[in-house]
Structure 1
């Protein structure tokens, strides 16, 4: 004889589903963060492989003219020029906020100051980034990966109609996943959000777990697609001589000064470009065409001055350059980094900054070896410490810099000199009045946005007055 089941048993599955998928349920946020991490990792892997593919296709196209009497660098000029020009056009026409690294946009969105138009930003940042980086410009893919990850986080929160507080957590989770996948460094991705976005991030147990989950899942996806090796293959160093730690502190002090001037030059370069193009589309695109031509030629004639610089780090740390060559590369790469990033091209400054830090660190190590050979036996140690030094001084995120270098190079026994260098750089930069570069870039963006709104309002008012007078 069949008995009718009690009502509470019949409604149990429905009640469990409603309870699980309620907006305030932390379990939903964690599961969504895992999904965002998977998407951010897949997007970062696709972006990474896409850059390599576009770069290879460009070089194959240039090499196909090798039998002619025309030099290859001449062929590279129109090819790279068209690629960069198209990247600049896509950015200015469809999503101006996709220009640059995109990290200030994510920070502004977390504060509620900037909109997140993910339907526009994701395709523009992805394809614009492929073209800009593939053309040979001195830009990194890590900043774009952060912005792409953050926009994926906002996309998911919009689809699931997540409330404002939880949407901010998913935005941060996506950004952490993007950085973790780009550098194959989950701890650095987590710490970047907690440390760099400390004024915007809503510190709660659930939001912190969301960031952790996204970074872990993104890294797992990236390692499935690529491999589990460190991003940069360099010598594995043992613990340094304790008597040499004061030299690492001095190196940090030097980076504090360099980082301060680097940030000022970066902002000045952006102002210079704004003065030239005045936010007019075809002037902006013309700048892209010109830069593409320059970096197209450089990528053939002198590749050490082009590209992101990540592929240069093992050669620098391995001692393949003399002091004179290191100084020349450092100066020229500083110039190409400023010219590339300041232009507003869709690319980041993470990797170029790490390369510059490695260059100066190796220079410092060679000088230390010449002056104190008994305690500085391996100058390459200072190259590793230098990777995090300039980053810490410019971004003012020393813990992120320390973790980033350790995870990227697997030099875990270099943690003490890295801490000394990064903290020294941060202390000097702060003492001299330096401010985090992404904070300054966000403030600059907001000022320009307000000025454009005022100019637009003035223009409309003048048009209205002119119509009335007629």
Structure 2
């Protein structure tokens, strides 16, 4: 007993932090699964209840529009009224919190982000669930820090990072991606150490265990298992990376430009914000009736592509339409993430390139699906500027670890091109905009590939 007591009190082995990381990870995993189930239920019920009540096509269309508009307006209203920091993905908020530049008000973020996500994602908007689950996981961590009255700032930050990793792991059933995301994407904010690293690993593992106990261990994207690409064909993935790097740069610039236009239109007025959300949500719900692959989270279009029914023309049309619907949905301030829409866009662009590459170089024996998977990770990498996270995330999602070499080449190429042409990491820019709005600018914003945030908030 004396040995155990000494072990618990040892500064080198703060077991209470590791135990809290396990509890936080498990709870974040449970909340992530419940969030996923809730979104699926709302989305399904929205359509089935209306189709069961109306028979005429035009009646169904009108009802779907207003039902979707109501759901999204509800989400926009509670964000504006109760928790503005719950708008968007929430990941920049956590990055800011790790440097004490943004508050973590878990008592209002958790309910608003959870139920607000039901409204926006359930209405059919082009958003992902990973942003909400990352923010929810980190806020759950902050809740435990308050409940246990942790005063040490480093311990609180460690738990925040652990909760964020758990949230991403629960969103995609991808523990490695959750761990690497915190280390790579939050590298300027995450205070790396033996204990903090262990806590992040524990949080991600516990969240994944809870996810798999409920949903099983199958990968989320069952799009087939591909053979390794021959060494002689790897130059094609360099070209693909360069192309997708340009796409990622255009995506970020378009999203940020449109976000500024939305903010200029809102002028801080709740009515304009809510009505805009209703129009976007209603339109996405209506579009889903006729062109379902152009809206929604993104996994739907990836699975549809894997069935082999898309022509080159359709791939291009879907890419253009989803590019537009993605930036409109996210830049409007809706509570929702951008990972899944990016994965869908990357799949479409990679598949388009792959179809041509397979025809032009039949001696390589390549399938277009290899390029689609590589493109999936590369667009994420170019946009967020986290190539290793993008590669590991997609390999875990598709269970195609044999493609690690072409994946890394494509992700790295896309990241380099985006940087060379003056692009900046999306979440860093969003955090900078948030801090400017709150009158707390970063030091030398966006000078480097990853902005260095000061250790303390300015007075």
- How much has 1:54 moved relative to structure 2? 0.6
Which of 129, 133, 139 aligns to 2:121? It is 133
Asked if 1:121 corresponds to 2:109, the answer is yes
Structure 1 residues 135 and 21: CA distance shift in structure 2, 3 A? farther
Q: Larger deviation: 157-166 or 245-254?
A: 157-166
Find the aligned partners of 1:339 and 1:318 in 2 and give their Cα distance: 28
Asked if 1:249 corresponds to 2:238, the answer is yes
Aligned partner of residue 64 in structure 1, secondary structure: helix
Q: What residue is the counterpart of 1:239 in the other structure?
A: 228
- How much has 1:447 moved relative to structure 2? 1.0
Q: What residue is the counterpart of 1:272 in the other structure?
A: 261
Q: Deviations over 1:297-349 (max 9, x none)?
A: 11212111111111221222443201000000000000000000001100000
- How much has 1:247 moved relative to structure 2? 0.5
Q: What residue is the counterpart of 1:228 in the other structure?
A: 217
Q: What residue is the counterpart of 1:464 in the other structure?
A: none
Segments of 5+ residues of structure 1 without an aligned counterpart are 1-11, 453-470
Aligned partner of residue 310 in structure 2, secondary structure: coil
Find the aligned partners of 1:257 and 1:397 in 2 and give their Cα distance: 16
The 5 A counterparts of 1:5-404 are 20=8, 26-68=14-56, 70-162=58-150, 163-404=152-393
Q: How many residues align?
A: 440
Structure 1 residues 295 and 305: CA distance shift in structure 2, 3 A? same
* Length-normalised TM-score, structure 1: 0.91
- How much has 1:450 moved relative to structure 2? 1.8
Find the aligned partners of 2:272 and 2:214 in 1 and give their Cα distance: 40
Find the aligned partners of 2:368 and 2:70 in 1 and give their Cα distance: 42
Find the aligned partners of 1:410 and 1:252 in 2 and give their Cα distance: 21
RMSD in angstroms over aligned alpha carbons?
Answer: 1.7
Tell whether the 8 Å contact from 1:341 to 1:348 is kept in structure 2 after alignment. yes
- How much has 1:19 moved relative to structure 2? 6.8
Asked if 1:448 corresponds to 2:416, the answer is no
Find the aligned partners of 1:55 and 1:212 in 2 and give their Cα distance: 33
Q: Deviations over 1:88-119 (max 9, x none)?
A: 00000000000010000000000110000000
Q: What residue is the counterpart of 1:7 in the other structure?
A: none
Tell whether the 8 Å contact from 2:25 to 2:202 is kept in structure 1 after alignment. yes
Segments of 5+ residues of structure 2 without an aligned counterpart are 442-459
Structure 1 ranges of 4+ moved more than 6 A: 21-24
- How much has 1:373 moved relative to structure 2? 2.1
Tell whether the 8 Å contact from 2:158 to 2:200 is kept in structure 1 after alignment. yes
Find the aligned partners of 1:221 and 1:405 in 2 and give their Cα distance: 21
Tell whether the 8 Å contact from 2:229 to 2:366 is kept in structure 1 after alignment. no
Q: Report the structure number with the largest CA radius of gyration.
A: 1
Find the aligned partners of 1:414 and 1:202 in 2 and give their Cα distance: 31
Q: What residue is the counterpart of 2:451 in the other structure?
A: none
Tell whether the 8 Å contact from 1:137 to 1:306 is kept in structure 2 after alignment. yes
Find the aligned partners of 1:273 and 1:197 in 2 and give their Cα distance: 27
Asked if 1:428 corresponds to 2:393, the answer is no
* Length-normalised TM-score, structure 2: 0.93
- How much has 1:428 moved relative to structure 2? 1.0
Tell whether the 8 Å contact from 1:65 to 1:75 is kept in structure 2 after alignment. no
